[in-house]
Amino acid sequence: MRSLSALLLSAFLSLHVLAADVPVYDESADGSAQVVQALAKAKSDTKQLLIVFGANWCGDCKMLDGEFKKPALKALLDANYVIVKIDVNRFNKNLDVVKPYGDVIKKGIPSIVIATSANQLVYATNGGELADARKMGEAGVAEFFQKLTNKKS
C-alpha cells in the first residue's frame, strides 16, 4: 500500500511540474498576425482587445496567466475582452507589435494594452503596474482588472 501511495504521489508531482512548464506564450507565433486575428474577433464580439505582453521564462507572466484562468476573473475578462498573449522573449521579439502602443514593456513584463476593436489605445501599463504580479497576489490582480473594467463602463 505504501508503494502505491508513493507511486501516486510521484505521478502527481510529475504532472504538477510538467503543468508548471507548459508554455503560456506561443514562441513561434507571429505577433502581428495574432493581433490582427484578435482585433477581428473583438470587432465581431463587440469587445475590447486585451493584449498581454510576456514571456515563458517570466514567473510574473505565468502567475498572471494562472489568475486569468480562475473563475471570477475569467468571467470578468471573457465578458469584456478578447485576450491575446504576445511573446516578447527577452525584450527582443515582437517589438513591432509593442511599438504602436508606446514603450509598454520598458518597466517590465507582464504588460498589458487595452485597445478598441478599431485598435485605438484605451489603456497601457506604461508604469510596470503588473511587472510584480506575484507580489500583488490573487486579490491584487483581481482588483486591478476590476478597476479597469469599471472605468470602461
Start-end of H helices in the chain: 2-20, 31-45, 59-68, 71-80, 95-98, 133-152
Cis peptide before 23 (omega within 30 of 0): no
- Is pLDDT of 26 > 60? yes
Local structure of residue 46 (DSSP, 8 states): T
Q: What is the pLDDT of residues 121-149, one digit of tens each?
A: 999 999 999 999 999 999 999 999 999 98
Local structure of residue 101 (DSSP, 8 states): G
59: cell is 514567473
How far apart CA 87 and CA 72 sit, in angstroms, is 25
- Is pLDDT of 19 > 80? no
How far apart CA 33 and CA 7 sit, in angstroms, is 44
**CB of 133 closer than 8 Å to CB of 63:** yes
- Is pLDDT of 3 > 70? no
Sign, Cα dihedral of 106, 100, 98, 86: positive
- Is pLDDT of 7 > 70? no
pTM: 0.85
Please give the CATH superfamily to which domain 22-152 belongs: Glutaredoxin (3.40.30.10)
